Structure 1
Amino acid sequence: MPSIAIIGAGITGVTTAYALARRGLSVTLVERHRYAAMETSYANGGQLSASNAEVWNHASTVWKGLKWMLKADAPLLVHPRPSWHQLSWFVQFMASIAHYRRHTIETVRLAIAAREPLYAWADEEGIEFDHRREGILHIYRDRAGFEHARRVSALLAAGGLQRRAVTPEEIRAIVPTLAGRYFGGWYTDSDTTGDIHKFTHGLAEAAQRRGVRGLYGWEVRRLQARDDGVHMRLAGPEGEQTLRFDGVVVCAGVASRALAAQLGDRVNVYPVKGYSITVNLLDEASQAAAPTVSLLDDETKIVTSRLGTDRLRVAGTAEFDGENRDIRADRIRPLVDWVQRCFPGVSTRSVVPWAGLRPMMPDMMPRVGRGRHPRVFYNTGHGHLGWTLSAATAQCVADLVRRAWPDPVAVPVPARRCGPVTSLS
């Protein structure tokens, strides 16, 4: 039985380990933290949102980034001290504007394909993750934003996703406690929400029950792919050790770029910081005032998800500042202010801030597929849609790995269409 190492126990690494275990491979999951889902998969916006599949490679994004560059509380913040990595990333980002339509359609197709396996795994393994199937409502304060969303809706429909326009009156019916004036909205009743940390932790435990070996608290120091296998030097609680595997899948988030370089590949992931707050709903009035339907406020780029009875997750912003994980008060403040403005009945006395680094490729497409060496595979670079796409990309890379080491007594694995995400650049 071939031995496969997965580097990274965030949502993509855990779903990949689980998918490979279901295919009968010997899997080892390597994670530098003591537990799964302790970085970007810890406290995201909570949305499983095919409706948010529009890629960012659009001229309007560039204009907004320039306009907001010196505004500390801007939804999109680019620090004016760019590194060479950041500059090269932005050059590729601009070049990918030409592929905006195609990449948006491919992303929504992938997001839809991810739904069935993710829900099925949660049901089969009994994973409780505050899952809500009440849809996602995008809200717009002016005609320009609403009409742009109409054009996006046509692209989403081309990828197989239907959503409907709603009037201000319908917005009030869907979210009765939402304050403010709105031009209109777009509602996707097939989208869902939940707690990514609970889901990833639960699936990691399920993978362990299926035979996945977890090496938690071990950091990869050196990685080499040779003809006789993949050699990995690890540093952890018991010092250093070197292990050999038949293959490796890199699912390491923002660390994927450096690991890929050791393996002779270029995976141009850039860390785009996002922030969230978890509002603890400590009283009945706050619980009644907080929304149960998930929202995306397009003007402020803020999303919400209701997690159980007593928590509201509010997330947003994109910050280009390298691998800086600091939680800045001036970036958290707009999230708290948004809650107070849009849901004045919700108390913000108890708020837990968080920041995570989204692993983002310049063309906004995840890198899923083979590396230069036949023993190397990648499943990384999902950006702001890591959870939404994870089950589909895990299935794709697991199929590729299974076919690389076929089992003569197993039923052949059918080819699974992954589209352009299989390219590496």
Structure 2
Amino acid sequence: MRRVAVLGAGITGVTTAYALAKRGVDVTLIERHRYTAMETSFANGGQLSACHAEVWNHKATILNALKWMARRDAPLLLHPWPSWHKLSWFAQFLAAMPHYERNTVATARMALAAREHLFAWAAEENIAFDHRRAGILHVYRDKAGFERAAGVSRLLAQGGLQRRAVNLEEMRAIEPALQGNFYGGYYTDSDSTGDIHKFTSGLADACARLGVACRYGAQVTALAREHGKVRVATGEGSDLFDAVVVCAGTASRAMAASLGDHVNVYPVKGYSITVQLDDAGSRAAAPAVSLLDDATKLVSSRLGEDRLRVAGTAEFNGINHDIRADRIRPLLQWVEQCFPGVQTRKVVPWAGLRPMLPDMLPKVGRGKAPGVYYNTGHGHLGWTLAAATAQMVAEAVDKAGG
């Protein structure tokens, strides 16, 4: 039987291990943390959002980044000091701008495929992850943003996703708790939300039941091609595998380099808060429908009855896990302004590094050397896309015979 190592036990690594194990492959899942889903898959925005498939390679992103550089609380914060990694990433980001429409359509298609796999796996393995099928409502505070969204909707429709424009009255009917001045919105009733950490942990348990060897607390120290196989060294020793799949988030760039590949993942920091809805008034005042506020670039998801997750922002600052008060404050203010009846006495802040590639599409499939594969670089859509890309890379490994 072929032996395959999957490096990284976040959402992409665990879904990859599961998809391989279901194909009868002997899988070893290697993770540096003591548990699964302890980095970017720990406390994201919760949205399984095909409606958020628009890639960022657009002039509006560049203009906003330049406009907001002086604001420490900006939704998109680009730190001005240069590094070769950052410069090379942005050069490739600009080069991908002509493919904005094509890549947005491709991402939407991928998200729809992922949705079906993820739902089926959750049902088959009886995974409870606070899944809520109430749709996602995009809200816009001005006419310009709303009209631009119409063009995005046309691209999403090309990818197979339908979302509909809604006026203020319809917005209030969809989510009565929302307060504030808005121009209009777009509603995608087929999208949903859920707790990524709960799902990933549940699927990791399913992997173990299928015979996957889960090696937690094992830091990969070296990777090398050896006699047609791949040697994976950790602090515990080393093993030879017929193939390796790199699903290591922001660590994927260095791993790829050691295997002869250039995978230009950049760590784009995002923040979240989890608001504990301990009292009946807060539970009644919190939104039941998932939201995306275009002006603030924030999303919200109701996780069960007693938690509200609010997440967003993008910070280009290299490998930096600091949770900054000036970046958390806008998330708290958004809750207080849009849902004034929600108490924010008990709030847990978090920050994670999204592994983003310059064209905003994940790297899925073969590397240059035989036996080397990748499933990484999903950026802000790892939760949304992982089940599809796991199937894609598992099929590639299976077809190659290891």
TM-score range, shorter-chain basis? over 0.9
Report matched runs for 1:213-252 at 5 Å: 213-235=213-235, 240-252=236-248
Name the structure 1 match of 2:399. Answer: 403
The match for 1:276 is 272
Normalised by the size of structure 2, how large is the TM-score? Answer: 0.99
Which amino acid is the alignment partner of residue 315 of structure 1?
Answer: A
1:390 maps onto 2:373 in alignment? no
Match of 2:15 in 1: 15
| Unmatched segments (≥5 aa) in structure 2 | none
Q: Following the alignment from structure 2 to structure 1, what is the Cα–Cα distance between the partners of residues 218 and 247?
A: 15
Q: What is the identity, as a one-letter code, of the residue corresponding to 1:300?
A: T
Q: Within 5 Å, which residues of 2 pair with 1:26-425?
A: 26-235=26-235, 240-405=236-401
CA distance in 2, matches of 1:82, 1:119: 42
Instruction: Tell me by how many angstroms 1:80 deviates.
Output: 1.1
- SS of 2:62's equivalent in the other structure is helix
**What letter corresponds to residue 344 of structure 2 in structure 1?**
T
How far apart, CA to CA, are the structure 2 residues paired with 1:137 and 1:123? 26
Task: Give the superposition deviation at 1:245.
Answer: 0.7
Matching residue's letter, 1:247: A
| Whole-angstrom CA distance in 1 between matches of 2:281 and 2:341 | 7
Contact 2:16 2:391 (8 Å CA) reproduced: yes
What CA distance in whole angstroms lies between the structure 1 residues aligned with 2:350 and 2:386? 22
Q: Which amino acid aligns with 1:405?
A: G
- The amino acid across from 1:264 in the alignment is G
Cα distance in structure 2, aligned partners of 1:153 and 1:404: 38
* 2:3 aligned partner: 3
The count of aligned residue pairs is 402
| Residue-by-residue CA offset, 1:242-297 (whole Å, 9 max, x unaligned) | 11111000000000000000000000000000000000001000000000100000
Partner of 1:418: none
Aligned AA (1:88): S
1:373-416 Cα offsets, whole Å, 9 max, x none, are: 1110000000000010000000000000001117xxxxxxxxxx
**CA shift for structure 1 position 228:** 3.5
Residue type matched to 1:318 in 2? A
Shift of residue 79, structure 1, vs aligned partner: 0.5
Query: Which amino acid in the other structure matches residue 343 of structure 1?
Result: F
Matched to 1:216, the amino acid is Y
**Structure 1 residue 181: Cα displacement:** 1.4
Unaligned residue ranges in structure 1 (runs of 5+): 407-425
Per-residue Cα deviation, 1:135-166 (whole angstroms, up to 9, x for no partner): 00000010000001000000000100000000
How far, CA to CA, are the matches of 2:50 and 2:242 in structure 1?
35
Instruction: Give the alignment's Cα RMSD to 1 decimal.
Output: 0.6
Deviations 1:72-117 (A, max 9, x none): 0000000111211001100110111100000000000000010111
Q: Which amino acid aligns with 1:85?
A: H
The residue identity in structure 2 corresponding to 1:334 is P
**Structure 1 Cα separation of the partners of residues 156 and 337 of structure 2:** 30
- Aligned 8 A contact 2:228 2:370 in 1: no
Structure-2 separation of matches of 1:47 and 1:395? 20
Paired amino acid for 2:292: L
**Distance in 1 separating the partners of 2:153 and 2:14:** 31
Deviation at residue 226 of structure 1 after TM alignment: 2.4
Deviation at 1:320, TM superposition (A): 0.2
Alpha-carbon shift at residue 15 of structure 1 (Å)? 0.1
Secondary structure in 1 matching 2:345: coil
